Structure 1
């Protein structure tokens, strides 16, 4: 029963923007900060060991500031945004690991190709697709849409228009 309660709480925190710092203080990361980080992906950082809430980011890692939220900075690790409290470099928000794309979604977009669209610059994980580019919905997957860029399928998070996978 305790495992279920802990897992339920962990799922809540992962999706809500709330985080528990190492000293068991609940930190609410402002939605505007999370939106900024998603809209402005940075070059990936390699972190040795298990990255989790409360992990202290080494001084050798450059943490980018979040302009309208001066107490926070961010990095990207394995394609996931990580928000850090600048005062102590502790991770206060780590995007949930549900970012793994289901195999059936990839199969669907590869079996249902679209006409290729043109986008300025390279399209990689983290690229935000411009608003004027139409996205194709994926049945039974409201979280995702897709486009084909340079004849390659790109899976897009519908709410943010951010590319989460590209062939």
Structure 2
């Protein structure tokens, strides 16, 4: 029973934007802040240490402010958004890495579907590579029976996108 309660609580925090900082204070990161960060990716930052909730971002790392969410800023590390408290520079939210780089490969039938159902091409700024976050104004095409993934075509290249983070996880 305890195991089920702990797993249920963990699932709630993972999906709600509630996180634990290092001193076990619950921090609720507004959905609007998470949406802004996903829609406005920044240049990647290299962090040599293991990044986790409560990690204090070094002073030499530039943290971008979130305009509509005073007190929060963000960085991108290895293609994923990281939200930081501007008061103490502690990580208060980082997206689940997910995708194949974290060892959870997507099903082959997803790639087959994407390649057999090309969509109208979209335009994104910069090079289309794994880890790029697709801006919020770019429409994603859903993959049937796969709530985790959507896709886009840029020029004639298909790209699989993790729906929650809008991060590209595969490109042909």
TM-score range, shorter chain: 0.7 to 0.9
For residues 103-137 of structure 1, give each alpha carbon's deviation from its aligned partner in whole angstroms, at most 9, with x where no partner exists.
43653345425156151533441132645x5x432
Answering whether residue 108 of structure 2 is matched by residue 104 of structure 1, we say: yes
Unmatched runs of 5 consecutive residues or more in structure 2: none
- Is the Cα–Cα contact under 8 Å of residues 148 and 162 in structure 2 kept in the other structure? yes
The aligned length equals 164
Distance 1:31 1:107, change over 3 A: same
Offset of residue 66 of structure 1: 0.3
Offset of residue 138 of structure 1: 1.0
Unmatched runs of 5 consecutive residues or more in structure 1: none
Q: 1:47 and 1:151 mapped to 2: Cα distance?
A: 34
Distance 1:45 1:3, change over 3 A: farther
| Backbone CA RMSD of aligned residues | 2.6
Aligned residue in 2 for 1:151: 156
Q: 1:22 and 1:120 mapped to 2: Cα distance?
A: 37
Q: 4+ residue runs of structure 1 moved beyond 4 angstroms? A: 1-5, 157-160
Distance 1:3 1:159, change over 3 A: closer
Distance 1:99 1:11, change over 3 A: farther
Offset of residue 6 of structure 1: 3.8
